[in-house]
A and B are shown apart, each in its own frame.
Chain A
Amino acid sequence: MLFYREDELSFLDNPLLNKSTAMNHDDIKSNVLTTTLESAINWGRKNSLWPMPFGTACCGIEFMAVLAARTDISRFGAEAIRFSPRQSDLLIVAGRISIKMMPVLIRIYEQMPEPKWVISMGACASTGGVFDTYSVIQGVDQFIPVDVYVPGCPPRPEGVVEGLMKLQDLVGKEKLSDYSLAQTK
């Protein structure tokens, strides 16, 4: 309800503000969108994943190629590369992780705030790759929960983009009740 003083009513004569056209049902359908809170939040989250590249080896160079001009990750909203874990929500483990580096990775993962997702890029982060030796962790998923695995040595940039799109599908299906603390034991 709008309340005006008598002498202010002259603006209502403005032809652009033709108050005789109320919005009818068809106008509402084409101009107003109803959705659930969950879908809106998931839509916002999946289209603005801010990656934190944990690039150690050759996959790091391919990840730089994903950021560069030909395969452009900014069309997915993910161009804001944050090298600080506190400001990002997607950890991309790109490259082999050695036993000296694993405590660093665990610390960085713990520093990221919820919600957070992990993409394990390349064969070495997923399973150890070619390096079945005394000092390479045979798969980061033994210690950190991983959402999407992108195989390849190194994966093509198009492969990384497909992994990102799969992660976007996963994020779109999440429920808000997943993150509620009532779930914990």
Chain B
Amino acid sequence: MPTATILSKIKERLPAAVLDITEFAGEKILHVKGQHILTVLSALKDDGFNFLADLTAIDNLTLGGFDRFAVSYHLLSHKTAERVTVKAYISEEKPSLPSVESLWKTADWQEREVFDLYGIKFEGHPNLIRIMNPDDYDGYPLRKDYPRLGRKERGDFPVIDRHIQKKKRLE
């Protein structure tokens, strides 16, 4: 079945979950509500999309869209060599959605990375702790309202004193 038919069937079966189906540069994008992502992805997995290639998030603060945060999943079907993107929208007040780690084990580390960099919580994840930043880091760096230069963490280390005095000797 080509991707367009699969997506329209999912829209018929789960009308409460699907927000929109769009297309850009020849690829199909399915926009869904965050809480229903597990049912949508299980349906897609049963329809042949057996490989989760990528899991990431986008902060729509200045871009606009259905809601503030969008978690995007890129799926690949090994049988038909087709790809589809699924974007799950969640709001700023309650940034959490179900984890898909039960469907694909690769979601484990990628969801931890999204939690570390965006602060989005995944319900049902076995081990949701920070992965890239140090454990005592404060803040979610990739959000649009976090400054690129950070909040002074990178200057916060002890200066080593060698206890010897080396005189400067010029030529």
Contacts and interface: CB of A to CB of B under 8 A. Distances in A.
In the complex, A touching B, CB below 8 Å? Answer: yes
Interface of A: 99-100, 102-103, 106, 109-110, 114, 132-138, 142-145, 173-175, 178-179, 181, 183-184
A143 B157 contact: yes
Contact of B134 (A99, A132, A138): A99
B155 A142 contact: yes
A15 B134 CA distance: 77
Overall SS of chain A's interface: loop
A135 B165 contact: no
Interface of B: 133-134, 141, 146-151, 153-155, 157-160, 162-167, 169
A145 B162 CA distance: 8
18 contacts: A99-B133, A99-B134, A102-B157, A106-B157, A106-B158, A132-B149, A133-B148, A133-B150, A134-B148, A136-B154, A138-B154, A142-B157, A143-B157, A178-B166, A181-B163, A183-B164, A184-B163, A184-B165
Given A100-B133, A137-B154, A144-B160, 15 more contacts: A99-B133, A106-B160, A114-B164, A132-B148, A132-B149, A134-B150, A135-B150, A138-B155, A143-B158, A143-B160, A178-B165, A178-B167, A183-B164, A183-B165, A184-B163
Nearest to A101: B134
B132 to A, nearest CB: 8
Contact of B164 (A134, A136, A178): A178
Contacts of A100: 133-134
B158 A134 contact: no
